[in-house]
Amino acid sequence: MKKSDLKKYARLIVRVGANVQKGQDVIITAELEQREFVLMLIEEAYRAKANRVTLDWIDDDISKLHNKYRTVKSMSHFEKWELERYQYYVDKNPVRIYITSEDPDGEKGINQEKRAQVMQNIYPVIKPYRDEMENKYQWTIAGAAGTKWAKKLFPDLTAKQARNKLWDAILTTSRAYGDPIANWNEHNRSMSEKSRKLNELGLISLHYTSKNGTNFKVGLIPNALFLAGGETTLGSNIFYNPNIPTEECFTTPKRGEAEGKVVATMPLSYQGELIDGFWFEFKDGKVVDFGAKQNEELLKQMLDMDEGARYLGEVALVPKESPINQLGLLFYSTLYDENASCHLALGLGFSNCIRDFEKYSLEELREMGINNSMIHVDFMIGADDLRIVGTTKDGQEVVIFNEGTWAI
């Protein structure tokens, strides 16, 4: 892979994804293997006049060792400096750049029950900080070619060949070849136009059907908006793109209004393991039954994380013409696979989907029907024959998707 192409990609992440501004602090989270690419990100952030760039290195093998040797009590405890770090996040709103490159099977065999207990213990501690930061800072997540991830996708190639092929797929789907910034200006304009059309319909529900067994209806919040492409920070009014790539128009559904069965059409990478061949049955908005051909017990642990984990937090529309879907490659990464297919998400909803959300308290937003949970897990339900029919406020039915693509 040409270094010049990677440098343009790094610039895209910093300038369009995170949209780093003069004087801002930046925190980059990445795997140890990505040192060379992270150096490009650091240099680009400083060229954007960042005040300070801090690194937060992660590694699957290190995570496994923590999980193996530390107790639940030890991993659930926060030192004073760790809480001070969260307070720093609240006070400074640093820009966050997340680089995903991990092995889809990287944490296979880890004690998932132990991990779940730790997450349940620490969530009440960090939740007040997260609530205070919500919608106030720029963040973006983008991919980089990790060796084990590349070999998972291209097992017959050498490690170098596999990495190069994965890099090419990442840059292609991220619109990073040619003039990436111009590409994204046009892409954001196009996505904004599609969300505008959806919002003009005044939808109150969506009904999904497919021959694979999906027959599902979900209610929408009357005051909610479909969003697409970039978002804007609360207060500072800075436009940024949370996901590179993105192909989705999404909104937050109404808690308690979901009925029927949805069948997943792609594997789900969750906590470093794959869940496959799964489905959910909803009643009164809640998952009341489920099944999976692979890792059903892990799926159950996910659903039992907290009371909100069995309710929906997102519905997202992605046509089958998505560049990611057209590539014909299963990435085993939610960032990419969710942008190849219509999807839903269990768990936390998005408050910024509510019109004039800044005028409401978090409690008022929850009362409108936005779900609350420690998790937000996307799963893909798109199919070539997927049909989605919307119902408007005045009772009219509008075909939104037909044969897996836009009908509006």
Query: What are the residue ranges spanned by the domains of the chain?
Result: 3-173, 201-406
**Distance of alpha carbon 247 from alpha carbon 81, whole angstroms:** 39
Q: What is the pLDDT of residue 50?
A: 98
Q: CA distances (Å), 227 to each of 11, 197, 208, 259, 315, in order? A: 24, 11, 20, 24, 11
Q: What is the pLDDT of residue 229?
A: 85
CATH class of 3-173: alpha beta
Q: Which residues contact 292 (CB under 8 A, 6 or more apart)?
A: 275, 276, 277, 278, 279, 299
DSSP code for 224: B
The interaxial angle of helices 180-201 and 3-12, nearest 10 deg, is: 40
The interaxial angle of helices 112-133 and 80-92, nearest 10 deg, is: 40
Tell me the torsion sign for CA atoms 116, 309, 262, 280. positive
From first to last of its 408 residues, what are the pLDDT tens digits of the chain?
899 999 999 999 999 999 999 999 999 999 999 999 999 999 999 999 999 999 999 999 999 999 999 999 999 999 999 999 999 999 999 999 999 999 998 888 899 999 999 999 999 999 999 999 999 999 999 999 999 999 999 999 999 999 999 999 999 999 999 999 999 999 999 999 999 999 999 999 999 999 999 999 999 999 999 999 899 998 899 999 999 999 999 999 999 999 999 999 999 989 888 999 999 999 999 999 999 999 999 999 999 999 999 999 999 999 999 999 999 999 999 899 999 999 999 999 999 999 999 899 989 999 999 999 999 999 999 999 999 999 999 999 999 999 999 999
Q: What is the pLDDT of residue 107?
A: 86
8 Å CB contact between 367 and 174: no
The interaxial angle of helices 112-133 and 296-303, nearest 10 deg, is: 40
Q: What is the pLDDT of residue 109?
A: 86
Q: What does the longest C-alpha to C-alpha distance in the chain come to?
A: 59
**Distance of alpha carbon 66 from alpha carbon 369, whole angstroms:** 38
Token pair recorded at residue 127: 């939740």
Tell me the torsion sign for CA atoms 51, 52, 53, 54. negative
**Distance of alpha carbon 307 from alpha carbon 286, whole angstroms:** 10
Q: Counting Cβ atoms within 10 Å, is residue 184 exposed (0-12), middle (13-18) or buried (19+)?
A: buried
